[in-house]
Amino acid sequence: MKKLLFALCLLVLISALSAAYTLYKPYDTDNPKEISFEIPSGSTTKDIAQILKDSQLVRSGNLFMFLVKRSGNENNIKAGRYTLSQDMDYDKIISELVRGSSFVEFSRVTIPEGYELRQITELLVSKGLAEKEEFEKALDPSLYDYSFLETVDSDTLEGYLFPDTYDIPYSYGPQKIVEIFLDRFDEIFNETYRQRLSETGFSMNELVTMASIIERETKYPPERKTVSGVFHNRLDRNMRLESCATVQYALGERKESLTYEDTSISSPYNTYRMKGLPPGPIASPGEESLLAALYPESNEYLFFYAIPGDEKGRHVFSKTYEEHLKAQLKYKD
């Protein structure tokens, strides 16, 4: 009887040890996967254990908590995003979480030239980098200390989130992300550009506003400075800019063609009704459009007309309204 009881106890012990070993060993050493996950700020050891178990990185949450407590690291695990392998054992996982240096995950984001804040926001939200409402709160110019924002008389940063390709860490908050774009603007708009700006008589906000209109009106890059010349000529003659792009901005949609009703809407951005520049940028201009605004072509053109169906998006430029009408008739026929 004693032998039988001993045998049963030994069998139970062996089973327990086998089970413990199974729970302790890495999740998968044959075909391990790289698993990305996030430990939110304020997570408890129990929360982290559940995250690791749900992510299929540990077999036992309870064993993970026991080993963390035994190692004295209950308060040392760092919040953040990680990428760990399924062939890592508990000790290695705990070590990486304490160091907080396993991997900083980025998302590569390209902000196209001519994007509006609403489009940039939508893009960042779609990439999982920001929540819409929180990011919109971070677009308040008063939150940032940049000299080029001093003349901004607006509650948004329209035009100043510089279009480029960025690697943005998922760990960054909305303001930190905005600072990436603003830092790039500050880098691009160098001292040479600043000196030229002082010669134009424009404020920074007026310059960026002009550049944003050029950006949105010009698909064919070689025409940027010509289009800039047209708008500068119209301003010099106290003519309305009559930019379709500014009306589209006021409408909140980019229509292929505008109606008379569209160009009659009441808005400070409707340059068919209001003289001068609108109160602020209508999109984020790239460097070439900023250069075009700084160095407009010297010409006598006052009008331009988009050639219908032109694959490059080119225009016909005219000095008089009569020439402008003839150009329209020519291409409509």
Number of domains composing the chain: 3
Position 147: which residue type?
S
pLDDT of amino acid 10? 47
Structure tokens at 72: 């004295």
**Rounded to an integer, what distance in angstroms lies between the CA atom of residue 185 and that of residue 289?**
13
Q: Domain for residue 5, yes or no?
A: no
**According to the model, what pLDDT value does residue 84 have?**
87
Candidates 221, 223, 225, 258; CA nearest to 243 is: 258
pLDDT values of the chain reduced to their tens digit, one per residue, 333 residues: 555 554 455 444 444 444 444 556 788 888 888 787 888 878 899 999 999 999 999 999 999 999 999 999 989 898 877 888 899 999 999 998 988 755 556 888 999 999 999 999 999 998 889 999 999 999 999 999 999 999 888 889 999 999 999 989 888 999 999 999 999 999 999 999 999 999 999 999 999 999 999 999 999 999 999 999 999 999 999 999 999 999 999 998 887 788 888 888 999 999 999 999 999 999 999 999 999 999 999 999 999 999 988 899 999 999 999 999 998 888 775
Domain boundary among 73, 99, 125: 99
Q: What gap in Å lies between CA 153 and CA 191, rounded to an integer? A: 23
Same domain, yes or no: 139 and 255? no
CA angle 180, 145, 250 (to 5 degrees): 75
168, 107 in Cβ contact below 8 A? yes
Residue carrying structure tokens 């996950």? 37
Looking at the structure, tell me whether residues 95 and 111 fall in a common domain.
no
Report yes or no: 271 and 216 within 8 Å, Cβ to Cβ.
no
Residue 177 identity: I
Last residue of a domain, one of 127, 154, 188: 188
CB-based burial label for 311 (10 Å; 0-12, 13-18, 19+) = exposed
Residue 54 lies in a domain: yes
DSSP 307: P
**Which residue stretches of the chain are H helix?**
2-24, 45-54, 61-71, 90-99, 117-126, 132-137, 174-188, 191-200, 204-217, 224-236, 244-251, 287-294, 321-332
Which of 99, 123, 158 finishes a domain?
A: 99
212 and 283 in contact (C-beta within 8 Å)? yes
| CA atoms of 100 and 91, how far apart (whole Å) | 14
CA angle 323, 325, 331 (to 5 degrees): 100
Both 222 and 299 in one domain: the answer is yes
56 and 122 belong to one structural domain: no
Amino acid at 264: S
For tokens 């971070």, the residue is 138
Q: Which structural domain, as residue segments, surrounds residue 47? A: 26-99
- Same-domain status, 76 and 93: yes
187: which 2 tokens?
Answer: 């880098």
Residue 238 in tokens: 């106290």
For residues 80 and 101, the answer to whether their CB atoms sit within 8 Å is: no
**Do 85 and 120 belong together in one domain?**
no
Task: Look up tokens 């010349």; give the residue.
Answer: 229
pLDDT for 239 equals 96
User: Can you give the CATH number for the domain in which 40 is found?
Assistant: 3.30.1490.480
Q: Are residues 302 and 223 in the same domain?
A: yes
> Which pLDDT does position 236 carry in this prediction?
96
Task: Judge if 48 and 70 occupy the same domain.
Answer: yes
46/93 same-domain check: yes
Task: For residue 14, tell me if it sits in a domain.
Answer: no
- Does residue 158 sit in the same domain as residue 56? no
With vertex at residue 303, the alpha carbon angle to CA 214 and CA 323, rounded to the nearest 5 degrees, is 155
Tokens standing for 211? 């550049």
Are 262 and 247 contacting, i.e. CB atoms less than 8 angstroms apart? yes
125 contacts: CB under 8 Å, gap ≥ 6? 131, 132, 135
pTM of the model: 0.70
Cβ proximity of 144 and 156 under 8 Å: no
Establish if 113 belongs to a structural domain: yes
Beta strand 34-39 with 80-85 is antiparallel
